[in-house]
Chain A
Amino acid sequence: MKLVVLLFAGLREATGESRLELELCDGATVADAQAELLRRFPALRERRYAFALDHHYATGSTAVGSARELALIPPVSGG
């Protein structure tokens, strides 16, 4: 299954990508997607971020399921 991955702020600058697609196995978790991202972008290893699946915060153990969009959320600083 295909999952769109979005990268923001410093993560976008560190990887040079704002949007990409991953092909994941059925039953994949957020951690599985993260492992593939770390393989492609070693620069992510040094970074702190949270995950969001279809606009809701998620954790590594969250199943991707039918979600379409995974976002890596660096520490927020709005306001």
Chain B
Amino acid sequence: MLAARFELRFSTAPIALDPLVAEVRSDGDGAVLSFLGVVRDHARGKRVLHLDYEAYPPMAEVQMNLLFEEARERFGLERALVVHRTGRLLIGEASVAIVVATPHRAAAFDACRHLIDRLKETVPIWKKETYEDGSAWIGERS
């Protein structure tokens, strides 16, 4: 068995999924699950032109490690990689990739869902949407 391996990375370049899958998978895994969050062309009833992401990486790493630990306790997750983009993203680009590998598929689905849901709640990353008539940091006014 490999040692548990969890990591969060930030990237200003487009995310390539295949190398991440190869990196996370071990020979004891029967399931490798990947999730991509992708930039959509509309939000809040408006046409979106592009997004800008900003992060606080050292704190994001601490908070993401807490979430990896949660997924380990709840689902037995031992291998996961999260890559999040920063900077400007255009429609259709992946803003986040999550790859998890587990011996059996149920834990992979549960753990991946948990990681993306919790990332959106606690990890210090911010998204600014730009529309045809202005822009807004999301979450600020709600």
User: Interface of A with B (CB < 8 Å)?
Assistant: 6, 8-10, 13, 47-48, 52, 55-57, 71, 73-79
Contacts and interface: CB of A to CB of B under 8 A. Distances in A.
Contacts, number: 75
Contacts of A6: 56
Contacts of B54: 8-9
Contact of A77 (B58, B59, B116, B139): B139
A78 B59 contact: no
Interface of B: 37, 53-56, 58-59, 61-63, 84, 95-96, 116, 119-128, 137-140, 142
* Interface residues of B, dominant DSSP: mixed
A8 B125 CA distance: 9
Contact of B140 (A47, A52, A56, A57): A47
8 contacts: A6-B56, A47-B140, A56-B62, A57-B122, A76-B126, A78-B127, A79-B95, A79-B125
Given A55-B58, A78-B55, A78-B119, A48 B124 contact: no
B122 A76 contact: yes
A42 to B, nearest CB: 17
Contact of B123 (A13, A71, A74, A78): A78
A6 B59 CA distance: 12
Given A8-B56, A8-B126, A48-B140, A78 B62 contact: no
A74 B56 contact: no
A27 to B, nearest CB: 24
Contacts of B122: 57, 76
A71 B53 contact: no
A66 B139 CA distance: 31
B141 to A, nearest CB: 9
Contact of A71 (B124, B138, B140, B142): B124
